């Protein structure tokens, strides 16, 4: 790797690895340039999609601490460097792969954990971050409402009992 152009490519890939929240690997054999352009467009905002040389990628991945993807670097490989939401990027890749069976999800790395192709598909099936946060907030609100009801129930029951007793005494007198 004495050539400066290869050293620059490795340095650029290393920076992309370090700047990514997740890395998703695909095999793009059989896809046309127009299809790859459409895939890049669908990933825009969440990830950048790059066709890479396996040997240079292996070196860059090792330098960036992504050693676990070396096994997946065989055949024509392209990488989605996720800078946005990993779920959205995985969903875009999964949907594109459904429409274009030539695209194969090979795996990836999310927060230091190696993912298989099936893991990427499961990641794509997750709800978006906003939906999950909304559900969590709703569950917390329901729990707080239930706790407030439990704490006020004895006082309310005591007040009703006292009122019923007062009405009974007034009726007896």
Helices (H) and strands (E) in the chain, counts: 6, 5
Look at the pTM and tell me if it is higher than 0.85: no
- Cα–Cα distance measured from residue 50 to residue 93, given in angstroms and rounded to the nearest whole number: 13
Provide the phi-psi class of 116: left if phi over 0, else alpha when psi is between -120 and 50, else beta. Answer: beta
Asked if residue 83 has pLDDT above 70, the reply is yes
pLDDT above 70 as % of the chain: 99
* Residue of 89, 65, 96, 80 lying closest to 26 (CA atoms): 80
Q: Are 25 and 107 in contact (CB under 8 A)?
A: yes
- Could you tell me the pLDDT band of residue 2, with boundaries at 50, 70 and 90? low
Asked whether the beta carbons of 46 and 89 are under 8 A apart, the reply is yes
Query: Is the CB of residue 21 less than 8 Å from the CB of residue 70?
Result: no
pLDDT category of residue 169 using cuts at 50, 70 and 90: confident
CA separation for the pair 26, 77 (Å, rounded): 6
Q: How far is CA 103 from the centre of its chain?
A: 20
Cβ count near 121 (within 10 Å): 16
Read off the pLDDT band of 30 (50, 70, 90). Answer: confident
| Residue 1: per-residue pLDDT | 46
User: Left, alpha or beta for 75 (phi > 0: left; psi -120 to 50: alpha)?
Assistant: left
Nearest to 43 by CA among 24, 62, 57, 27: 24
């Amino acid at each position: 790797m004495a050539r400066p152009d290869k050293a620059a490519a490795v340095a650029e890939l290393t920076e992309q690895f370090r700047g990514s929240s997740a890395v998703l690997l695909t095999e793009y054999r059989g896809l046309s340039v127009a299809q790859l352009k459409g895939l890049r467009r669908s990933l825009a905002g969440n990830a950048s999609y790059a066709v890479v040389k396996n040997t240079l990628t292996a070196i860059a991945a090792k330098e960036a601490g992504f050693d676990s993807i070396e096994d997946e670097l065989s055949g024509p490989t392209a990488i989605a460097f996720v800078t946005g939401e990993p779920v959205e990027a995985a969903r875009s890749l999964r949907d594109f792969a459904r429409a274009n069976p030539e695209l194969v999800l090979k795996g990836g790395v999310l927060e230091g954990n190696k993912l298989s192709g099936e893991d990427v598909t499961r990641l794509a099936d997750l709800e978006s971050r906003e939906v999950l946060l909304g559900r969590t907030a709703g569950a917390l609100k329901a729990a707080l409402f239930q706790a407030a009801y439990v704490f006020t129930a004895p006082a309310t029951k005591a007040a009703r009992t006292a009122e019923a007793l007062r009405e009974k005494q007034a009726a007896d007198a």
